[in-house]
Structure formats: C-alpha cells, structure tokens
Amino acid sequence: MVVRNRTWIAAVLAGAGALGWWLTRPCDERYLKSQLVRLARTLEKSGPESVFETAQRATAVANAMAEDVIVESGRPELGTVHGRADVRQAVAQVRASVHELQIDLFDVNTKLEPGRTTAVQRCTVRAVGRLHDRSERGTTEVEVRWIRQSVGWRIGYVKMVEVVRPLPDA
C-alpha cells in the first residue's frame, strides 16, 4: 500500500512539474511579448527628466530596432522614420515634448512565421501624453514585425494600422 501511495505522489509531482515547465517554458512568443512590454515601459515618462536620461531611454528604444527599421508613425508631424538613428532622435523629441507619457498595451498577439526567424505582433496601444494642464490621448492598433538576427530579436517594421479610414478631403 505504501509503495502504491508513493507511486501516486511521484506521478502527481511529475505531472505538476511537467505542467509548471510547460506553462513557464521559454518560447519566442512569450519572449517577444515581454520585449514589447519592456519597450513600452522604456518609452513611458513619469515626470521631468534630465537630458542624459532622455538620451539613455531613446538609445534603449533604438537598440531594440534593426539598423534599417522603418516606423510608420501615422502622425503627420513625425511621418515615417527610417533607420535606428532617426528612431533615437524621434523618441528623444517626443519625450522632450511631453511632461508625462503613459502607454498601455492590450490584446498582444504574436505569430511566428514559418522558419521562426520573423514574427508579427499586433496589439492595441493606448497612449496618454501630458503637457502642463493639457493632455492628449490616442488609441490605435499597431503592427510590429520582428526579425531574428545574430544579436537576437530586433524590430524591423512598425506600422499604425488604420482601422477607421478618414473620408477624403473636399
């Protein structure tokens, strides 16, 4: 009887261990989601910061990008940004123009393409920027394309998805 009980306990523990491993196993989808969340946290700004910190954050964001990254901002004032250096500059500009910046991500879906060297992420981004007593908020769907490079996963393309297309001007 004792042997049988021990067998059951061992089986349950092994099953729990396997389930725990499966739930927490390293996988590209989970890694890319965590990277995106980390990027959003890096972009956020909670109050005044020094020029050094602005540059440091902008560099950290740019380092997540491929050298020839393309970012279609969907904002007329920023347009399309080409290359890591320009991303760094654009991020620094945006950070300098707001006192606070809050970014929330929802519905992050990651799909690895065949070969597992590229991945497409879609998510809903809600951003709130505050400047003095004025705040501006926006919600958009964003598409992020990741590329697996020798140094790891890097972002090759970012696009704001136009869910609602404005009417043409008169």
Partner 1 sequence: MEPTVPNGAFGIGWMGAYWWREPQVGDIVMIRLAGDHVLFLKRVLAQPGELVEFRHGELWVNGQPRPEPYVRWKWDWNSAPLRLGPDEYLVMGDRRDMPRSSHTGGVVRRDRIAGKLLWWFGTAHG
Q: By the criterion CB under 8 A, which residues form the site for partner 1?
A: 106-109, 122-124, 126, 139-142, 161, 163-170
Would you say 54 or 124 has its CB closer to partner 1? 124
Shortest Å, Cβ 107 to partner 1: 3
Shortest Å, Cβ 108 to partner 1: 8
CA trace torsion 60, 64, 68, 74 (10° rounding): -90
Half-sphere exposure of 31 (CA within 13 A, CB side): 11
Phi, psi of 159 (to 5 degrees): -140, 135
Would you say 17 or 138 has its CB closer to partner 1? 138
Length of the chain: 170
Would you say 60 or 103 has its CB closer to partner 1? 103
Shortest Å, Cβ 36 to partner 1: 12
Would you say 10 or 161 has its CB closer to partner 1? 161
Shortest Å, Cβ 164 to partner 1: 5
* DSSP per residue, 61-121: HHHTEEEEEEEE---TTT-EEESHHHHHHHHHHHHHH-SEEEEEEEEEEEEEPTTSSEEEE
